[in-house]
Amino acid sequence: MSNQTKATIAAICFFLSGWAQAQYPEKPIRIVVPFVAGGVSDNVARQVSLKITEQTGKNFVVENRGGAGGRIGYETGAKAAPDGYTITATDATYTMLPGVFGNKLTWDHSDLTPILLIAQMPFVVVTKTGSKIRTLQELVAQAKANPQKLNYGSSGNGGVNHLVTELFSRSAGVSMQQIPYKGMGDAVVGLLGEQVDVLVTAIPTGLPHVISGKMTALAVSSAKRATAAPNIPTASEQGVPFVSNNWVGFTVPKGSPREAYDWISKSALAAMATPELQQRIHAMGAEPSLLVGDEFGKMIRSETARWTEVVKAAGIKVE
């Protein structure tokens, strides 16, 4: 082999080596969370990205863009450059906003492409321990006997807890009065301070207070009992057909490279296959729940239609 040929082969190998190393991702991937740090979407995004980093050596930067009930964060994700370096941690709020705000939104669902659903977590119906309402049957009976007399707290008009409690009310055939707060933390304070009678909140928010003895759990909203709280009966098994979950998944801006889509999907699935990450998800009160690509997209469309109907039936309006 001539020196020239050797030099040519060496040059090709050097080029291919550099090309292979330059494969996606070449820089940290941003994960936009449309809510403040510490919430369910934030925790899930951080745990999944940490496990992917452990497995691949690739880094992520979580960016919390809270405000306006999630609209700011979703707009940030939807309008990001479709270069494969922005993921939006997408939750149930995403499917509620079109019904609440309609054409006032500055983005459309077609602007974000679903990659995969990661986890789902039920809501829990709670009252303050020591309240006159100690069971789901008592709540329904009192609400039916006294329409609009029982108060429930929400994280704000048109927010997740508002819509979910309206769905619960429809499922139970009752009518209660909403007391909107600036956030679920304030609503929890309202319940413990007896300003409101009941909360329907995500299980990671309510369960610690149930465990501490400050709240009484009446039911969970999942189809079957939650792994994190197997002693709390479902609403359905108590005669109220209330089934609804919050959830978290990953989406990317429309037009993002297929290479990025595939890498994120495969890496997240590999991370979720580890017992360690599954245990962390369970510890949050959530259930690992994987739907990929079109299946996740179908769920988003179905949930959007359902929540839009709930908004319309309840006459929910947000200025």
Question: What residues contact 67, with CB distance under 8 A and at least 6 apart?
Answer: 73
pLDDT above 80: residue 7: no
Cis peptide before 257 (omega within 30 of 0): no
Domains recognised in the chain with CATH numbers: 22-121+246-314 (3.40.190.150), 122-238 (3.40.190.10)
Best mean pLDDT range from 19-23, 252-256, 282-286, 311-315: 252-256
Distance CA 301, CA 297 (A): 6
Q: Look up residue 280 and give its two tokens.
A: 């962390």
**Does residue 121 sit in helix, strand or coil?**
strand
Distance CA 26, CA 245 (A): 36
pLDDT above 60: residue 13: no
pTM for the whole thing?
0.87
pLDDT above 80: residue 280: yes
Share of the chain above pLDDT 70, in %: 93
Confidence of residue 228 (pLDDT cuts 50, 70, 90): confident
| Structure confidence at residue 182 (pLDDT) | 83
pLDDT above 60: residue 21: no
Q: pLDDT tens-digit profile of 170-215?
A: 999 999 999 999 888 899 999 999 999 999 999 988 999 999 999 9
pLDDT above 60: residue 62: yes
Q: pLDDT tens-digit profile of 290-318?
A: 999 999 999 999 999 999 999 999 998 88
- The sign of the dihedral angle between the CA atoms of 86, 89, 95, 100 is negative
| Structure confidence at residue 106 (pLDDT) | 93
What DSSP string describes 206-233?
HHHHHHHTSEEEEEE-SSS--TT-TTSP
